[in-house]
Amino acid sequence: MASAASTPAQPKGATGVLVLADGSVIWGKGFGATGDAVGEVCFNTSMTGYQEVMTDPSYAGQIVTFTFPHIGNVGANPEDIESQVEGAVGCVVREEVTAASNFRSQETFTQWLVENGKIGLSGVDTRALTRRIRLSGAPNAVIAHEPSGEFDLDTLLAKAQGWPGLEGMDLAKVVTRDAQEAWTGSYWQLGHGYGEAGQDGRPHVIAIDYGAKDNIFRNLVKAGAKVTVVPARTSLEDVLALEPAGVFLSNGPGDPAATGEYAVPVIKGLLERDVPLFGICLGHQMLALAAGAKTVKMFQGHRGANHPVQRVGEGWGETTGLVEITSMNHGFAVDADTLPPEVEQTHVSLFDGSNCGISIKGKQAFGVQYHPEASPGPQDSFYLFEKFVGMLG
């Protein structure tokens, strides 16, 4: 991977390129949408679920490098979409996308990328790119696809260098829904699709959408809740007017401190009124901010479906020390050293020791850094939805 001073010659047949902000140029074969897009380059270690990854709003402003070499083999279908709003802007893969081979496929991954305006780049040494990210951090870059193979590298480099990066960026306002919505969809079953759930007699959960994945709402319904989803900037008064039995704080993209400028005062108000709270990913981070902790930008982040997390809190009884294999997608984390005495650390990453869960003493409020809805990923952590709904009576 060369610097700007030694840009590698464009290989014959190269129709795609990744231009990093430091001047590095990585050639490949473009697929999917044409044009260019800027974002932070990260890597994801999942072997399955690429369509769910690409439609996760938490990936807004990011270019995903898949470490698994064969991406696109099972095609695409409308049931594996996590959200209709912006997700990842592009992806980098090792092998060219082959013909789809799965009974659920309705179109190729390439066709789906075109329809959704996302750019792909194949033929890249993704092991080398991943190692670069692990050693040097997640870089800003531009991914571009042009069938003619004609690129203005200087212009692409200027875009990469001019992009401010995710730190300090509030992206929840970009990916949140515009209006309140009553959510009724339940979990997916083979041959039946997504089910519907009744509303009568269920505790009412207000889910604040900072860039949520649909399968989170489905699992809340599966656990026995009635769910109403509201936009990220919904006021404390409007949340309380809906008479919530509990409030869910969703995942989402960007810097939690930036989104927290308007979200944290609402969460503090809910804590003061002893409303039960459950946060996932960005929601977990902002719950920690509301409790007095701080968040930090991670060096490379955690993204994949194989992350081991250990229960360390006192409240787990016989299961203290148990390890869950979890799905993760985050580039920021709660700084465990800043947790105040009334906040207990309940989970930690066995990869790097970073915080993966908190509980606020004297309150029915907890959060986890990982994704218990497992889309894609292992199913070790579904119990958290039942734990939350069980609090609500």
* Residue 169 confidence (pLDDT): 97
State yes or no: pLDDT of 143 exceeds 90. yes
Residues in the chain: 393
Q: State whether 123 and 57 are in the same domain.
A: yes
- The residue type at 4: A
Residue 167 inside a domain? The answer is no
* Residue 17 confidence (pLDDT): 98
Q: State whether 349 and 271 are in the same domain.
A: yes
158 has which bridge partners? none
Catalytic residue among 82, 281, 284, 324: 281
* Residue in 269, 204, 275 with CA at minimum distance from that of residue 242: 204
Residues 273-310: tens digit of each pLDDT: 999 999 999 999 999 999 999 999 999 999 999 999 99
Q: State whether 196 and 151 are in the same domain.
A: no
281 catalytic per annotation:
yes
Among 162, 184, 203, identify where a domain stops: 162
* Residue 159 confidence (pLDDT): 98
DSSP string, 108-151: -HHHHHHHTT-EEEES--HHHHHHHHHHH-PPEEEEEE-TT---
Q: State whether 109 and 196 are in the same domain.
A: no
Q: State whether 225 and 373 are in the same domain.
A: yes
Q: Which residues contact 105 (CB under 8 A, 6 or more apart)?
A: 74, 75, 76, 77
Q: State whether 138 and 279 are in the same domain.
A: no
Instruction: Please give the residue range of the domain that contains residue 99.
Output: 4-162
Q: State whether 150 and 229 are in the same domain.
A: no
Q: Which of 178-187, 327-336, 354-363 has the lowest mean pLDDT?
A: 178-187
Among 162, 187, 217, identify where a domain stops: 162
* Residue in 63, 23, 20 with CA at minimum distance from that of residue 42: 63
Q: What is the CATH number of the domain that holds 47?
A: 3.50.30.20
Q: State whether 155 and 181 are in the same domain.
A: no
Number of domains composing the chain = 2
Among 106, 134, 162, identify where a domain stops: 162
Q: State whether 206 and 301 are in the same domain.
A: yes
Q: State whether 158 and 180 are in the same domain.
A: no
330 catalytic per annotation:
no
373 catalytic per annotation:
yes
Q: What is the CATH number of the domain that holds 263?
A: 3.40.50.880
Residue 87 sits at the vertex; the CA angle it makes with 384 and 146, to the nearest 5 degrees, is 155
Residues 203-241: tens digit of each pLDDT: 999 999 999 999 999 999 999 999 999 999 999 999 999
